[in-house]
Amino acid sequence: MENSLTQYLDLLDSHLATIDSKAPALFNALRPTAIETLRNAGRFPRTGDEDVPNANPAQMFAPDYGINIDRRPIPADVAASFRCDVPNVSTLTAIVVGDTFHPTSTLLHNLPQGLTVMSLARAAAEHPQLVEPYLNKLAADSSASAALNTALLQDGVLIHAARGVRVDKAVQIVSIFSTQAPMLAVRRILVVAEEGSSVRVLLCDHSQRNDVDYMSSQVVEAFVGQGASVELYDVEESSARTRRMSETFVRQERDSSFVSVGCSLCGGDTANSVSLDLAGEGAETELNALVIAAGERHIDNRIRLAHCAPHCRSRQLFKYALFDNARGAFGGKVVVAEGAVRTDAAQTNRNLLIGDQSTMHSAPQLEIYCDDVKASHGATTGQLDERALFYMQSRGIPREEARRMLVQAFMMDVADTIRLDALRDRMRLLVEKRLGGDAAASCSECSACK
């Protein structure tokens, strides 16, 4: 683990020709710079490094995972992936098995004009004008883990909404692990919403085996054009032996809107980060997330949100419920650049420590370089209100049920920020089911998925 990056550099040195032969030229052109970034980094960040209070990328990437550089077909029970199916929501669905894109018939036959959802590799080869201006423009050189994603990139997902196209149906990307051997999946998602367009994206993570170690390296780049709207919903329901490193990069232009809601219900160690630039005047952003963690799980969310233009508005709400020995971390930095007058920014992190050994590290930050702004941040960490528990018990509610009800109520204002009505109702149910059983249960054991 001391230098887990070395094994990936060695793999690239030995198999670069094979990787290049299986990928489009546009990907291959990005690889040398990414590899150089890795060599310059020397190692992945570790616990104790600045801004990495709990997440340990060096440890997360350390196991000897397999990587499908030969692009061999990976069998998967695709029907099982629809355990996250949302009743009353008709979505345009694609499946990502490992890191390989597979469209469903629903997607192929129902794509509205002006919306492109396809394999990123195929798009780079056949429609480079949709990919080349955007791919790796936000993620480049941002971190060693993002550079590794680019260095190993062979496929991904392109979601492109043409100018003025407003899509009612959500695009659902269901990512699956199913191999019998440990596997690292390099997942890349590129979302482009041109001027005046709107698109909703639902990302769902699942592992079909509980006895195998998996690692997801995911990079999402989202470009939100002038007057455009993007909603991104990310639901993590994987096994306790599935680790995830997810990095999201967003750029917003004038009068655009971006909404992100992350729901981490079950899985292994997870490190999520968002880097967002409000680059155009009048842009608005909402970043929200709920976390339910148990056992020995570590889960981190790190945010860097930059107000770069006047009259922009941002809201953040992150809530954690930590059981058993789970550890959580929230690092949120809001930067208000010089000249970004009339900024309105608010950041809130609230946490419940329910396990005797659970811990939380919270570090909200503001950096303000101009006057005439409104900005606030706050963080609270505590336990359930014993008075409320006593009151509910005095009304005949068993203590464990009362505890579940209080935690569920604590989480509901994050779920309520989901703008898709049916998905919001489904998330309320999933949170209730997740809290109704053993808090340490893996997703496959959760009755909500049956």
DSSP letters along 16-65, please?
Answer: HHHHHHTS-HHHHHHHHHHHHHHHHH-S---TTSTT-SS--HHHHT-S--
Instruction: Flag whether pLDDT at 445 surpasses 80.
Output: no
Q: Which two tokens stand for residue 59?
A: 């440890």
Is the pTM value of this prediction over 0.85? yes
The Cα–Cα gap between 249 and 273 comes to: 8
Mean pLDDT of 317-346: 95
Query: Which residue segment(s) compose the domain that 300 sits in?
Result: 5-449
DSSP letters along 384-427, please?
Answer: --HHHHHHHHHTT--HHHHHHHHHHHHHHHHHTT--SHHHHHHH
Instruction: Flag whether pLDDT at 89 surpasses 70.
Output: no
**CB 448 within 8 Å of CB 235:** no
pLDDT of residue 446: 38
Count, residues in the chain: 450
pLDDT of residue 43: 86
pLDDT in tens, 49-61: 665 556 778 889 9
pLDDT in tens, 232-280: 999 999 999 999 999 999 999 999 999 999 999 989 999 999 999 999 9
- Computed from CA positions of residues 358, 426, 219, 8, in that sequence, does the dihedral angle turn out positive or negative? positive
Per the model's pLDDT, the better-predicted residue between 433 and 302 turns out to be 302
Instruction: Flag whether pLDDT at 351 surpasses 90.
Output: yes
pLDDT in tens, 392-408: 888 888 888 888 889 99
pLDDT in tens, 279-331: 999 999 999 999 999 999 999 999 999 999 999 999 999 999 999 999 999 99
> Number of structural domains, the chain?
1
